[in-house]
Amino acid sequence: MNDSPSMLLSRLYQKWSGYWPEKCEQLPQSGSDRRYYRLGHQQTTAIGAFNTDRSENLAFTTFSRHFLGQGLPVPTVLAEDTNQRIYLLTDLGDVTFYSWLTSIRERDGFSSEIIRRYEMVVEQLPLFQVKGGDGLDFSVCYPRAAFDSRSMHWDLNYFKYYFLKLAHIPFDEQKLEDDFNRFSQMLLQADGQYFLYRDFQSRNIMIHDDRLWFIDYQGGRRGALPYDLASLLYDAKADIPEEVRLHLLEHYLDKLGTLIPIDRIDFKKQFYGFVLIRILQALGAYGFRGFYEQKNHFLLSIPYALGNLQNLLAAGLLPEGLPELYSILNHIVNKQELMEYGKKHTNLTVSIWSFSYMKGIPADPTGNGGGFVFDCRGLPNPGRIDTLKAYTGNDTPVIGYLEQQEVVSEFAAGTQVLVGRTISNYLMRGFNHLMVSYGCTGGRHRSVYMANQMKTYIEKNFGVEVTLHHREQLLP
């Protein structure tokens, strides 16, 4: 039987620190299939990563060591086991640049404090692109060593197949392919000899000890300078005001000009072409994760991306000579259904229950019937462990035990996919109630934990009301 990622990482942590971790908590997944865990013993914590793709792991660890040697603010690779496809990193906390600016913006608007932080980010970007690329082993880049014509076509076809097709947008395939060819040739006119971070956006920047730290550059490769700046300034949900974008573009060029000679006019001409391909790539990602994988929170970014496209089209900033692509863009920015994602049009309430099968399945008080009932009795039972018996699924010892069981995380993820798809459907159809129940033997450990996990998942990904009921929690 193969060991779980949490067990493998716990052993690596013990080898690195000398202590078996007191905790090994799986962190929420985002847009990739990599799994991250926070491991710790007393005050010594680390982030553990498990990724089945060895080539991607090699790119990340190689880049990390190189960037650290260049004095760039990235996490340190503390330990790794390439055979088991795991490694440990510096724990940079949980505050991303995006979560920070969202909290500040809700309180103060797009304040001078946010602008200053963005200035600090764009001051770091040229260092990664120029200094970070100096002496870098580009042979480990994955999946391509350069953002070349093939990479561009991958991104453009990602947009075509996962956004246009799944959103049912009509287009002439041959004419669109002709435009893609012309577009990629335009982009290839830019100097592509620098390090291209690839996913340089606010969620891949951490704030820790009041400093900026940069993560998730494993997709980096050779490429042109404007791409990463376009990724940052047109990061959909960051929703940067246009006048701030223009200010940050000039600030970036000021810093870049201290490292290499630049033609500012030529750079700006190239810039908006890279803005366009980055937005198209992002729409492809939202379509893949949202339409195809049914992860609703990715669909919430679509209106922001389309708003950016709408403004660029109105200002005449996008490259010329792409008639079919422009026809498509004008169509999607005027498609009301796409612009409605993220807006609340329902009074849907999801009612979540934990219960004991010995007491029967909870009745639906609305009289609608249906809903989900998940049987947790096949999962490892903390109630059979003397040191855990007195606790419930709300308590840290039980939570820690269950989080280290791979089958538990797989069960939770599976139920979340099923419920998430139904919530998306109910939102479209205007339904107002969904009941989700988790049962186990006593209704105090596994079912309570699972109900809590579902509540967290729904609140993070859907704008609906959630009620939580632990029916047996207070029983002796």
Q: Give the model confidence (pLDDT) of 380-433 as tens digits.
A: 999 999 999 999 998 888 998 999 899 999 999 999 989 988 988 787 677 889
pLDDT exceeds cutoff 80 at 473: no
Angstrom distance (rounded) from CA 130 to CA 196? 9
Angstrom distance (rounded) from CA 19 to CA 26? 19
Q: Whose CA is closest to 338, among 236, 419, 433?
A: 236
Question: Residue 357's pLDDT band (boundaries 50, 70, 90)?
Answer: very high
Q: Whose CA is closest to 40, among 6, 66, 74, 68?
A: 6
Q: Give the model confidence (pLDDT) of 175-232 as tens digits.
A: 999 999 999 999 999 999 999 999 999 999 999 999 999 999 999 999 999 999 999 9
Q: Is-contact 398 391, C-beta < 8 A?
A: yes
Q: Give the model confidence (pLDDT) of 51-71 as tens digits.
A: 999 999 999 999 999 999 999
Angstrom distance (rounded) from CA 412 to CA 454? 8
Side chain identity at residue 81, one-letter code: D
- Mode of pairing for the β-strands spanning 433-440 and 205-208: unpaired
Three-state SS across the chain?
CCCCHHHHHHHHHHHHHCCCCCEEEECCCCCCCCEEEEEEECCEEEEEEECCCHHHHHHHHHHHHHHHHCCCCCCCEEEEECCCCEEEECCCCCCEHHHHHHHHHHHHCCCHHHHHHHHHHHHHHHHHHHHCCCCCCHHHCCCCCECCHHHHHHHHHHHHHHHHCCCCCCCCHHHHHHHHHHHHHHHCCCCCCEEECCCCCHHHEEEECCEEEECCCCCCEEECCHHHHHHHHCCHHHCCCHHHHHHHHHHHHHHHHCCCCCCHHHHHHHHHHHHHHHHHHHHHHHHHHHHHCCCHHHHCCHHHHHHHHHHHHHHCCCCCCCHHHHHHHHHHHCCHHHHCCCCCCCCCEEEEEEEEHHHCCCCCCCCCCCCEEEECCCCCCHHHCCCCCCCCCCCHHHHHHHHCCHHHHHHHHHHHHHHHHHHHHHHHHCCCEEEEEEEECCCCCHHHHHHHHHHHHHHHHCCCEEEEEECCCCCC
Q: Give the model confidence (pLDDT) of 19-55 as tens digits.
A: 999 999 888 776 677 999 999 999 899 999 999 999 9
Angstrom distance (rounded) from CA 419 to CA 101? 30
Angstrom distance (rounded) from CA 88 to CA 14? 11
Q: Give the model confidence (pLDDT) of 3-24 as tens digits.
A: 889 999 999 999 999 999 999 9
Averaged pLDDT score across all residues of the chain: 92
Q: Tokens for 197?
A: 């971070």
| CATH code for residues 5-89 | 3.30.200.20
pLDDT at 368: 75
Angstrom distance (rounded) from CA 231 to CA 237? 12
CA angle 452, 456, 458 (to 5 degrees): 115
Q: Give the model confidence (pLDDT) of 448-464 as tens digits.
A: 999 999 998 888 878 78
Topology agreement, domain 5-89 and domain 97-339: no
Angstrom distance (rounded) from CA 23 to CA 165? 44
- Mode of pairing for the β-strands spanning 433-440 and 372-375: parallel
Q: Cα dist. 399→191, 376, 430, 445 in Å?
A: 52, 15, 35, 9
pLDDT exceeds cutoff 60 at 474: no
Angstrom distance (rounded) from CA 271 to CA 267? 6
pLDDT at 450: 96
Q: Is-contact 109 103, C-beta < 8 A?
A: no
pLDDT at 4: 87
pLDDT at 283: 97
What homologous superfamily does CATH list for 97-339? Aminoglycoside phosphotransferase (APH), C-terminal lobe (3.90.1200.10)
Q: Give the list of residues 6+ apart from residue 84 with CB closer than 8 angstroms, or none.
A: 8, 12
pLDDT exceeds cutoff 50 at 476: no
Average pLDDT over residues 144-150: 95
pLDDT exceeds cutoff 50 at 1: no
Between 346 and 240, name the one with better pLDDT.
240
pLDDT at 454: 95
pLDDT at 112: 94
Side chain identity at residue 47, one-letter code: I
pLDDT exceeds cutoff 50 at 475: no
Question: Residue 343's pLDDT band (boundaries 50, 70, 90)?
Answer: low
Q: Give the list of residues 6+ apart from residue 91 with CB closer than 8 angstroms, or none.
A: 38, 40, 45, 46, 47
Q: Whose CA is closest to 350, among 474, 448, 463, 472?
A: 463
Question: What is the residue whose two structure tokens read 């129940």?
Answer: 437
Provide the residue ranges of all domains of the chain, joining segments of one domain with +: 5-89, 97-339, 349-470
Between 247 and 105, name the one with better pLDDT.
247
Average pLDDT over residues 89-105: 94
Angstrom distance (rounded) from CA 340 to CA 373? 31
